[in-house]
Structure 1
Amino acid sequence: MPSATELSAVAQALYAAYASKKPVSPPRDTLANLTVEDAYAIQQEQERAFVAAGHTVIGRKIGLTSVAMQQQLGVDSPDFGFFTDRLSFAPGEQIPVDRFIAPKVEPELAFKLSKDLGQGASFDDVLGAIESVHLAVELIDSRVRDWDITLADTIADNASCGAVIVDPRPASIALEDLEDVPAVMYLDGAEVGRGSGSAVMGHPLKPLEWLANVLGTMGVPLKAGQVVLTGSFCGAAPVAVGSKLVVDYGIYGSLETSFI
């Protein structure tokens, strides 16, 4: 099993890659017998490093909740990561591509919590803890070279989170309609993906129930006021300098941004 020193060395290398933009070797190649538990320990050390550097953790992201994303990255289980105030953009804000290594975008929904959620939370508990629903995009990125990842690798790399784009205005989506929310993603006018809320583990709030319980076992409850992105409606699409993104959520509105 990897030692605490070995886990810390990988965490420090991944954290440094945010600034250097130089990807690292897959953690599984550096650490023999890397487990999911080891990978979350690596991720949590990076979270502490961001906080020590002045960031505020404002939410969580759940990844790999759709069959499309599991197939795209070759994994078979959801995972989660964190994002901070400095890893968050508003719709319409121009996003510098050079802040990332190999960025891709995916359409999602975000949920702001009105109550804490911890271990033992039921689906009904989750329903009762939703303050508002927001249109969102996750910008995924990999500090692991060439996106060469297994589940443990992506978990160690903060679930491949690069940044989030969340519309601060609540969307007029009734909780009972979440499964049927559509999303069509366009880059430079060309369709690059589509899906609906039901693609996200059958319901966009099922991943939130899963996360509350997984985090609860770690003694880290979800807190009122946090925002959680619960997973992509479809596969991710790469972006480059000059890309213009539009995600059409049908009657619920759209989210747009551009990359410079």
Structure 2
Amino acid sequence: MTTTRRGLAALALLAATPAQAACPDMAAAARVAAALIAREPLTAPIAGLTPADAECFREGVVAHLAQPWGDVVGWKAGLTNPAAQRHFGVPHPLRGAIYHATIRARSGDEIPARFGSMPVVESDLLVRVRDDAINEAGSDPVAILRHLDQVIPFIELPDLAFAPGVPLDAAALIAINVGARLGVVGDAMPAEATTDFAGRLASMSVVLSQDGNERARAPGTVLMGHPLNVIPWLVQDLARVGRRLRAGEYISLGGFSPQIPSAAGVWRLRYEGLAATAPEVVVRLT
């Protein structure tokens, strides 16, 4: 059976899974993961998944993808932009895992434009956890910054997995690990636990361009009112399943602007107003 047929068989299995099932067949997760690794779009929808089904299925997908893509090194918060939440009909973000491969590429690297089955480019920002006390930091941005050690420019390169025309709802997005795949990181900045730095994170403009042409621009506040508001949500979501943020983990804070289909060119992401010289990250898609 080809990888595509394995992926379709996986989706057929999911469609037949009773809605009350707590965890679909993990063999189906393995087959979907194989299709993702092969960069073959899934051509049928995932039907009938409850949130619990989707989360359990995601764990199986992550386990299989971590073999070729490297250890899980942190977390991705998806749908942190209210417009994205409205599009998917959910009132909150979604959580995924990120891999070593997600943070391996460095600014200026060259990556194939077809790096996934349905590849897209996204304006993002990474932070790194300094210590476990972040789990008790609450919601104040300065208090959160005390427990971060790096703020890192980051172009995320997600894979939305499903072929054009196939419905993609929130449960399906959870099941494919919120599309986490690759990314490109710039030079890290120290996380300054000051009111001024917290204010700059909110007031900055995040600007994505392709070959010198601006493709998207958004304020820092587009992520839940402040980029660091993502972290208390993530802490609570992990606590719900008995997990905690750990020192050294990376957090992808989410998309400042809509995802753009991947295409060849030089993609540049700038954070205007975050520092005297705007931090940036660049990737050449070929």
TM bin (shorter chain) = 0.7 to 0.9
Aligned to 2:58: 43
Question: How far apart, in 2, do the equivalents of 1:165 and 1:51 lie?
Answer: 18
| 1:1-260 correspondence to structure 2 within 5 Å | 1=18, 3=21, 6-25=24-43, 28-29=46-47, 32=48, 34-52=49-67, 55-71=70-86, 75-88=90-103, 89-116=105-132, 122-124=138-140, 126-146=144-164, 148-170=167-189, 174-240=197-263, 242-250=264-272, 251-260=277-286
| Structure with the larger RCO, 1 or 2 (CA within 8 Å, 6+ apart) | 1
Check the 8 A contact 1:117/1:212 in 2, yes or no.
no
Q: State the one-letter code of the partner of 1:50.
A: L
Q: Deviations over 1:121-154 (max 9, x none)?
A: 5124533311121111111211223263111010
SS at match of 1:192: strand
The structural deviation recorded for 1:223 is 1.0
Superposed CA offset, 1:217-240 (max 9, x none): 112211110110111111111122
Aligned AA (1:252): A
Q: Closer, same or farther in 2 for the Cα pair 1:54/1:19, shift >3 Å?
A: closer
SS in 2 for 1:28: coil
Corresponding letter in the other structure for 1:8: M
19-28 or 221-230: which moved more?
A: 19-28
Q: In structure 1, list runs of 5 or more residues that go unmatched.
A: none
The Cα shift of 1:52 comes to 4.8
Aligned length: 256
In the alignment, is the contact (CA less than 8 A) between 1:118 and 1:215 conserved in 2? no
Q: What is the root-mean-square deviation of aligned Cα atoms in Å?
A: 2.4
Q: Matches of 1:63 and 1:142 in 2, distance apart?
A: 12
Percent identity for Structure 1 against Structure 2: 26
